[in-house]
Amino acid sequence: MANQSSSSSCPILCASFNQDHTCFAIGTRDGFRIFDTNSGRLCYQRFVGGFVIVEMLFSSSLLAIVGAGDKPSLSPRRLCLFNTTTSAALRELNFLTSILAVRMNRQRLVVILQDKAYIYELNSLKILETIDTVPNIKGICAFSTSLDACYLALPASTTKGSALLYNVMDRHLHCEIEAHRSPLVAMILSSNGMYIATASEQGTIIRVHLVSDATKLPDILAASSSSGSVHVFTLAHASQPRLKRSSSILGSIIPDAVSDVLDPAFHHVLHNVVPAGIKSYAVIRKVDNVTDSSTSELLACRAIMSVITYNGQFKEYNLSVDAHNDLTWSLGREFNLLTVTLDKAVIS
């Protein structure tokens, strides 16, 4: 999921992390590349033309890829399930219109078109459900990878910011969330399916909604913006008692500068993290809560935030929030995604 800044001249056409953030993939005008997030090692690359979608299934050899349309074999209407071990296509699915988004977990494959969403059983590629949607030209969607709470969120309106949530395993409509007055521009589900964060075209408010019965909010929510800043919300330090024992994470991307989001006391702005106007993708990868052994009181929250910019940079930041909700952050490492060679680890 990425912010909507203009990046027509950027070398990267798409970027995505796998479901546990241990790897990430980028699609370029020449091909696609897969990296190990922890080491920065380039694990796989293939140069056969442009790709606008490259989605991984955890750390397996299975990819879902969609071409940019610069040659007939890379039609944006064709989804290819690709094996990186054999460098061969396993199956292909063809559609009448361009594929705008693809999501996977271990049992389901979801394909988003402008006015439809298709749900497949991953192993057999049997189509389970076809959902008619409102016009969704940007392919906005959210998908939770948990099999116990596996939800697909789609825009419910083109005039207001409401979202429909479908239970993808049981194949029924779960609920509709009235999130914003203006149309949605981004949304993301926590990996456990408990919470959904949304942002609208107005670009000034992020809202987090409860999806299923739960008692925990994410520790940290990160949102990148077109101004070049990243906004960090330290939900684990919020004053409500139920927030102090949270343990999950959530990443979110929104299109424009953010102000007055959630409680300002837990809102931190990291300026000049990415170049202004460049599309970017930010995730919170690791969270470590430090607690008092005798009282279980939260003393500090440490996290690693990874950012991919569509001009070809990978940046990793170390975040630390103390008991007084003061945030410190530093750049841990940075490298150019387009110049790394195979089997080369990036340490600095």
- For residues 167 and 268, which has the higher predicted lDDT (pLDDT)? 167
Q: What is the pLDDT of residue 254?
A: 36
Quickly state the pLDDT bin for 343 (edges 50, 70, 90): low
Q: How many CB atoms lie within 10 A of CB 131?
A: 17
Yes or no: say if 306 and 319 are a contact pair by the CB < 8 Å rule: no
What are the helix (H) ranges across 198-323? none
Quickly state the pLDDT bin for 240 (edges 50, 70, 90): very low
What pLDDT, in 10s, does the model give residues 109-124? 999 999 999 999 999 9
Q: What is the mean pLDDT of residues 174-180?
A: 91
Whether the per-residue pLDDT at 167 is higher than 50: the answer is yes
**Cβ-based burial of 256 (10 A; exposed 0-12, middle 13-18, buried ≥19):** middle
End-to-end CA distance of the chain, in Å? 26
Residue 22 DSSP symbol? S
The domains of the chain are located at 12-336
Whether the per-residue pLDDT at 274 is higher than 50: the answer is yes
The structure's pTM equals 0.86
What's at 220, amino acid-wise? I
Q: What is the mean pLDDT of residues 88-104?
A: 98
The set of residues, in sequence order, having a beta carbon less than 8 Å from that of 239 and lying 6+ positions away, is none
Q: What is the mean pLDDT of residues 241-263?
A: 38
Q: What is the pLDDT of residue 263?
A: 58
Whether the per-residue pLDDT at 103 is higher than 60: the answer is yes
- For residues 336 and 207, which has the higher predicted lDDT (pLDDT)? 336
Q: What is the mean pLDDT of residues 138-142?
A: 97
Cα distances (angstroms) measured from residue 99 to each of 51, 81, 181, 318: 12, 14, 28, 35
Choose among 284, 283, 222, 227: nearest CA to 255: 227
What pLDDT, in 10s, does the model give residues 300-311? 889 999 999 999
DSSP-based three-state secondary structure for 242: helix
Whether the per-residue pLDDT at 213 is higher than 70: the answer is no
- For residues 316 and 225, which has the higher predicted lDDT (pLDDT)? 316
Question: Distance between CA 6 and CA 28 in Å, rounded?
Answer: 16
What pLDDT, in 10s, does the model give residues 311-325? 999 999 999 988 888
Quickly state the pLDDT bin for 223 (edges 50, 70, 90): confident
- Token pair for residue 176? 């509709």
Q: What is the pLDDT of residue 5?
A: 55
What's at 186, amino acid-wise? A
Q: What is the mean pLDDT of residues 248-256?
A: 39
Question: Distance between CA 38 and CA 302 in Å, rounded?
Answer: 16
The sign of the dihedral angle between the CA atoms of 239, 241, 242, 244 is positive
Lowest mean pLDDT among 82-86, 146-150, 218-222, 305-309: 218-222
Whether the per-residue pLDDT at 348 is higher than 60: the answer is no
- Token pair for residue 178? 């009235």
Q: What is the pLDDT of residue 70?
A: 93
Quickly state the pLDDT bin for 8 (edges 50, 70, 90): low
Whether the per-residue pLDDT at 41 is higher than 90: the answer is yes
Question: Distance between CA 305 and CA 284 in Å, rounded?
Answer: 4
- For residues 16 and 191, which has the higher predicted lDDT (pLDDT)? 16
Strand-strand pairing, 248-253 and 218-224: parallel
Q: Mean pLDDT across the chain, nearest whole number?
A: 86
- Token pair for residue 183? 């149309």
Percent of the chain with pLDDT over 90: 64
Fold annotation for 12-336:
Methylamine Dehydrogenase; Chain H (2.130.10)
Q: What is the mean pLDDT of residues 167-184?
A: 93
Quickly state the pLDDT bin for 239 (edges 50, 70, 90): very low
